[in-house]
Amino acid sequence: MASRLLLQNLSKRHLLRSTFAFRSASTLVLAEHEGGLIKAQSLSAVVAANSLSQDNPVSLLLAGSGSSLHQAAEKAATCHPSISQVLVADSEKFAYPLAEPWAKLIQLVQLKGDYSHVIATSDSFGKNILPRAAALLDVSPVTDVVDINGPRQFIRPIYAGNALCTVRYTGANPCMLTVRSTSFPVPPISVDSKSGGASISEVDLSTLDEDSVGKSRFMKLSSQDTGRPDLGSAKIVVTGGRALKSAENFKMIEKLAEKLGAAVGATRAAVDAGFVPNDLQVGQTGKIVAPELYMAFGVSGAIQHLAGMKDSKIIVAVNKDSDAPIFQVADYGLVGDLFEVIPELLEKLPEKK
């Protein structure tokens, strides 16, 4: 009898705690900025936050230093109606997105704000920072979320995207998530200019540990100013595989991308062979993309690569092997030699205006 009463009391407490957590839901979104603008992937995290509950105030956390940070904060305050507050951490410690200072910052903001959820995107930024912050807060993160069924129930891919797993989070607050930006597209938004946007607040960093910089140091940033769209957010992606045989031949992919106004992607095999840098890799261990048009040349369709692009709206594949797995997911397929197909496309396609 005593055991039954104890179980009933525990059940009531759990129900009350769950109800309270649901009613008091509030979300902290970790946002990236560059050149005074919020990156599009961060807005996808805001869209994901809207799926948690109806009454869910969203706070956007920006960190960095200098005028570009405050320009990004002003843009963030009016970029999405769901954002109720923009938190700004201005310090040289956050000049570069290193995991150690960012994790300490998240811990500091969480202790003050007591958020029910913390969300970042499943890119190099979120994957680098969120797990370390989760360890400091002693919670277990839920990663690579592609759908949200409630404040504590999520869907994420497993087995390289061949199966979907429903996960129920039963731990303490905050529930920390990384979400795939391709699964939470940002709809066209018209922000009411009369509303004035979200409030902007400075984060008090006086209590931040002096040793929060940690053992890692920023060395340098290597980037190619090609003028092409960003691979993670491009509407058209042209990808090449190992069948291109050399870095010189891969330039055909780059020329085709320039004509189409597309981003360039590559398979892991092409990256490992040294044809292109690894920041162009598409797949399970690279970038996850879902463009309007995905063109694959000389891509066999390994399961790890398909996991990073199979959500594309239209997939076009060119391969000499008619049995290549890429044709199983392609909307349009051409069995042919890419060294004949690409030059013909370059000849017939008009120059980009």
To the question of whether residue 304 is assigned a binding role by annotation, the answer is yes
Backbone angles phi, psi at 241, to 5 degrees: -115, -170
Distance CA 143, CA 172 (A): 16
Q: Inform me whether the pLDDT recorded for 203 exceeds 80.
A: yes
pLDDT cut 90: percent of the chain above it? 67
Q: Inform me whether the pLDDT recorded for 224 exceeds 70.
A: no
To the question of whether residue 302 is assigned a binding role by annotation, the answer is yes
To the question of whether residue 170 is assigned a binding role by annotation, the answer is no
Domain match, 163 and 296 both: no
Q: Would you place residue 174 in the very low, low, confident or very high pLDDT band (cuts 50, 70, 90)?
A: very high
By mean pLDDT, which of 88-92, 133-137, 204-208 is the weakest? Answer: 204-208
Domain match, 258 and 204 both: no
Select the more confidently predicted residue: 35 or 342: 342
CB of 105 closer than 8 Å to CB of 208: yes
- The structural domain count of the chain equals 2
**What Rg do the C-alpha atoms of the chain give, in angstroms?**
23
Output the domain CATH number for residue 283. Answer: 3.40.50.1220
Structural domain contains residue 229: no
Domain match, 144 and 250 both: no
Per-residue pLDDT tens over the stretch 239-288: 999 999 999 999 999 999 999 999 999 999 999 999 999 989 999 889 99
Q: What is the pTM of this model?
A: 0.81
Residue from 40, 20, 21, 18 nearest 31 by CA: 40
Q: Inform me whether the pLDDT recorded for 97 exceeds 90.
A: no
Domain match, 74 and 205 both: yes
CB of 72 closer than 8 Å to CB of 40: no
Domain match, 33 and 181 both: yes
Structural domain contains residue 13: no
Q: Would you place residue 207 in the very low, low, confident or very high pLDDT band (cuts 50, 70, 90)?
A: confident
To the question of whether residue 267 is assigned a binding role by annotation, the answer is yes
Q: Would you place residue 223 in the very low, low, confident or very high pLDDT band (cuts 50, 70, 90)?
A: low
To the question of whether residue 300 is assigned a binding role by annotation, the answer is yes
Q: Is the dihedral of CA 183, 186, 188, 194 positive or negative?
A: positive
HEC string for the chain = CHHHHHHHHHHHHHHHHHHHHHHCCCEEEECCEECCEECHHHHHHHHHHHCCCCCCCEEEEEEECCHHHHHHHHHHHHHCCCEEEEEEEECHHHCCCCHHHHHHHHHHHHHHHCCCEEEEECCHHHHHHHHHHHHHHCCCCEEEECEEEECCEEEEEECCCCEEEEEECCCCCCEEEEECHHHCCCCCCCCCHHHCCCEEEECCCCCCCHHHHCCCCCCCCCCCCCCCCCCCCCCEEEEECHHHCCHHHHHHHHHHHHHHCCEEEECHHHHHCCCCCHHHEECCCCECCCCCEEEEECCCCCHHHHCCCCCCCEEEEEECCCCCCHHHHCCEEEECCHHHHHHHHHHHCCCCC
Give the pLDDT score at 212. Answer: 57
To the question of whether residue 269 is assigned a binding role by annotation, the answer is no
Domain match, 208 and 240 both: no
Q: Would you place residue 23 in the very low, low, confident or very high pLDDT band (cuts 50, 70, 90)?
A: very low
To the question of whether residue 27 is assigned a binding role by annotation, the answer is no
CB of 175 closer than 8 Å to CB of 160: no
Domain match, 92 and 134 both: yes
Structural domain contains residue 98: yes
Structural domain contains residue 81: yes
Distance CA 43, CA 72 (A): 13
To the question of whether residue 242 is assigned a binding role by annotation, the answer is yes
Structural domain contains residue 115: yes
Q: What is the dihedral of CA 54, 56, 57, 59, to 10 degrees?
A: -130
Output the domain CATH number for residue 205. Answer: 3.40.50.620
Domain match, 76 and 205 both: yes
Q: Inform me whether the pLDDT recorded for 188 exceeds 80.
A: no
To the question of whether residue 285 is assigned a binding role by annotation, the answer is yes
Residue 253 lies in domain: 236-348
| Angle subtended by helix axes 338-348 and 247-260, to nearest 10 | 30
The mean pLDDT of the chain is: 87
Q: What is the mean pLDDT of residues 64-76?
A: 92
Per-residue pLDDT tens over the stretch 281-340: 999 889 999 999 999 999 999 999 999 998 899 999 999 999 999 999 999 999 999 999
To the question of whether residue 319 is assigned a binding role by annotation, the answer is yes
Structural domain contains residue 5: no
Domain match, 137 and 205 both: yes
Domain match, 199 and 343 both: no
Give the pLDDT score at 214. Answer: 67
Structural domain contains residue 138: yes
Q: Inform me whether the pLDDT recorded for 3 exceeds 50.
A: no
Q: Would you place residue 15 in the very low, low, confident or very high pLDDT band (cuts 50, 70, 90)?
A: very low
pLDDT cut 70: percent of the chain above it? 88
To the question of whether residue 42 is assigned a binding role by annotation, the answer is no
To the question of whether residue 298 is assigned a binding role by annotation, the answer is yes
Structural domain contains residue 224: no
Give all strands of the β-sheet with 175-179 in edge-to-edge order.
Answer: 142-145, 175-179, 117-121, 27-30, 58-64, 83-90, 199-202
Domain match, 292 and 198 both: no
Domain match, 53 and 176 both: yes
**Where is the domain boundary, 197, 212, 227?**
212
By mean pLDDT, which of 5-9, 169-173, 234-238 is the weakest? Answer: 5-9
To the question of whether residue 162 is assigned a binding role by annotation, the answer is no
Residue 239 β-bridge partners: 265, 296
Paired tokens of 49: 């936050």
Q: Would you place residue 127 in the very low, low, confident or very high pLDDT band (cuts 50, 70, 90)?
A: very high
